[in-house]
Amino acid sequence: MKIAMINGSPKPEKSNSAFMLRKLEALIHTEHEVSHYHINKYPVNEYLYREFCNMDILVLAFPLYIDALPSHLFKMLITLEDYMKKQRKKEIYVYAILNCGFYEGNQTHTAIEILKNWCSRSELCFGQAIGHGAGEMLNFIENVPLGYGPQKNLGKAIESLADHINLQNTGDTMLFSPNFPKFAWRFMGTHFFWNVSAKKNGLKKREIFNRL
Ligand SMILES: Cc1cc2nc3c(=O)[nH]c(=O)nc-3n(C[C@H](O)[C@H](O)[C@H](O)COP(=O)(O)O)c2cc1C
């Protein structure tokens, strides 16, 4: 089967979505042909839309933005909908990997509903979605083997997703948090990720709380 792995993170490098796609790809059977796309890094043109219409499977990995999809990804899907309606010749399954900044993965449920609606409008089959909380933790635990320690829940979800993709069938949505205490992540995330990111972007700590 032809599988498109589409990274929908606006980050050009080191995104959590890319991390999850790497983990998934390691479990995809070698008989499948996997192609990679990063829609914020390279322009999405007509050629690409047509290529998506010739896939058997689309895997969309993206972060939660304001309880929904990042706008560049949403825009791409709106255009793709037209192509799918006119050009698609076979059944295409859509799978999704979401991650969010909140600790609770169930924050992603609205975005999953949006994607399900898009699938039915585009006449595509919705395969399965997984939603991971505390996504910004992933790059800190890259060296932990999948399925162990803080990646225990992620391991179960990625395995389930890979099984359904390999067989092109449907599975239940899985929303989860890392196997790591919430209070410890709040402390670490605040001091070692969010404050550091703010500083890198020229913001003082108190400016994080500014309202527009
Ligand atoms: C503009 C913006 C909006 C966001 N909105 C949400 C949100 O509504 N809920 C949430 O839990 N996280 C939100 N986040 C956090 C991202 O989902 C989170 O940082 C994610 O891990 C980034 O994944 P990526 O590395 O794949 O881009 C937002 C981040 C940004 C920059």
pLDDT of residue 111: 98
**Confidence category of residue 30, pLDDT binned at 50, 70, 90:** very high
Mean pLDDT of the region 169-190: 94
**How much is the mean pLDDT over the chain?**
95
Residue nearest to atom 15 of ligand 1 (CA): 101
**Confidence category of residue 184, pLDDT binned at 50, 70, 90:** very high
Q: What is the CATH number of domain 2-180?
A: 3.40.50.360
pLDDT tops 80 at residue 33: yes
**Confidence category of residue 211, pLDDT binned at 50, 70, 90:** confident
pLDDT of residue 191: 87
Q: Which amino acid is it at 59?
A: V
Lowest mean per-residue pLDDT among 120-129, 165-174, 183-192: 183-192
Residue 163 beta carbon below 6 angstroms from any ligand 1 atom: no
User: How far is the C-alpha of 85 from the C-alpha of 183, rounded, in Å?
Assistant: 47
195 CA distance to ligand 1 centroid (A)?
Answer: 15
User: How far is the C-alpha of 183 from the C-alpha of 147, rounded, in Å?
Assistant: 22
User: How far is the C-alpha of 28 from the C-alpha of 78, rounded, in Å?
Assistant: 28
Residue 175 beta carbon below 6 angstroms from any ligand 1 atom: no
Q: Which atom of ligand 1 is nearest to the CA of 11?
A: 27
Q: Which carries the bigger pLDDT value, residue 113 or residue 190? A: 113
pLDDT of residue 208: 80
Residue 7 beta carbon below 6 angstroms from any ligand 1 atom: no
Burial 171-193 (b: 16+ CB within 10 A, else e): bebbbbbbebeeeebeebbeeeb
67: left (phi over 0), alpha (psi -120 to 50) or beta: left
Q: How many C-beta neighbours within 10 Å does residue 146 have?
A: 16
Q: How many C-beta neighbours within 10 Å does residue 80 have?
A: 20
101 CA distance to ligand 1 centroid (A)?
Answer: 5
Give me the DSSP letters along 91-151.
--EEEEEEE-SSS-GGGGHHHHHHHHHHHHHHT-EEEEEEEESSGGGGGGGTTSPTTSGGG
Mean pLDDT of the region 37-43: 87
- In the chain, where are the structural domains located? 2-180, 183-212
Name 174's bridge partners: 130
**106 token code pair:** 């169930």
Q: Which carries the bigger pLDDT value, residue 40 or residue 9? A: 9
User: How far is the C-alpha of 132 from the C-alpha of 112, rounded, in Å?
Assistant: 12
Per-residue model confidence as pLDDT tens digits over 56-114: 999 999 999 999 999 999 999 999 999 999 999 999 999 999 999 999 999 999 999 99
User: How far is the C-alpha of 31 from the C-alpha of 52, rounded, in Å?
Assistant: 19
